[in-house]
Structure 1
Amino acid sequence: MNQEVSRTKRVALEVRKTLSEILHRETKDPRLSKVNITECKISKDLSVVTVYFTIIGQNEADQAAQDAIKALEKAKGFFRTEVGKRMNLRITPEVRFFYDTVAENASHIEELIFQALHKKDEYK
């Protein structure tokens, strides 16, 4: 079982690397120029890869992020085909894109902690 887990992690890392190369070297859509892939998770049977991405300086609600989501959805067949060509997998995984909100959530939590600490100082 450990070997299977490490295989899925290795494949996910390789898919991330491959998608990043495709995204930055071969994609001509200007909506994707600032997209960064942050993480890839792949199913145990390697049939579905979930790709998390972000745009530096943007959050999910911004227009640039919405445009990027549309562009990625439109091009996901292209990405799947290219991953299939470049990687030696029995099954080419279906690609699903999601905006990564981890940085936004961390920033929000930091702000809440900062506010709570300053409120505590006011009561002293």
Structure 2
Amino acid sequence: MATSRRVARVSELIKREVSQMLLSGIKDDRVGSGIVSVTDVQVAGDLQHAKIFVSIYGTSEAKAETMAGLKSATGFVRSELGQRIRLRRTPEVIFLEDSSLERGDKVLSLLSRLSQERELADHTDEADEGGAED
């Protein structure tokens, strides 16, 4: 069992290397159909498995294509990681779609809409009160 500090360091290394691969290493055209970024990497305590969370910007078809391309490139990614990061055993790689950015964006838009509605309600209340005094 690796220390939590080592696990964190390995996950940061994997995140950086996979991000580089997404820019220039993976030749699958499906991966380029959406804008892809690595948001997080979770490495198991025994360093045998790595879950790579990716955020994909684009249509749902582009997201599906990109995920299919990433899943087919897992062998390439693992072998590249083995060459770039010196570990006794290269972890198994699993790509997962991270939709937290979309959920956050949705929450922010809902909050701004509520804020606008409150301001509008406050202005109409002030106008009603101002009209009643005259």
TM-score, length-scaled by structure 1: 0.85
Offset, 1:105: 0.9
* Matched residue, 2:4: 5
Unaligned runs of 5+ in 2: 123-134
Runs of 4+ in 1 over 6 A off after TM superposition: none
Q: Which amino acid aligns with 1:70?
A: A
Q: Which structure has the larger Rg?
A: 2
Give the number of aligned pairs. 119
* Matched residue, 1:102: 100
3-state SS of the aligned residue for 1:54? Answer: strand
Q: Kindly provide the CA deviation profile for residues 7-55 of structure 1, in whole angstroms up to 9, marking residues without a partner as x.
A: 1111001011111222222211122123221221111111111111123
1:88 aligns with 2:89: no
Higher helix share: 2
Q: Percent identity?
A: 27
Q: Give the distance between the partners of 1:121 and 1:24, measured in 2 at CA.
A: 44
Offset, 1:121: 2.7
Unaligned runs of 5+ in 1: none
Q: Give the distance between the partners of 2:119 and 2:23, measured in 1 at CA.
A: 47
The alignment yields a C-alpha RMSD, in angstroms, of: 1.7
- Is the 2:15–2:40 Cα contact (8 Å) retained in structure 1? yes
After the TM superposition, which residues 42-121 of structure 1 pair with which residues of structure 2 at under 5 Å, given as runs?
42-56=43-57, 58=58, 62-121=60-119
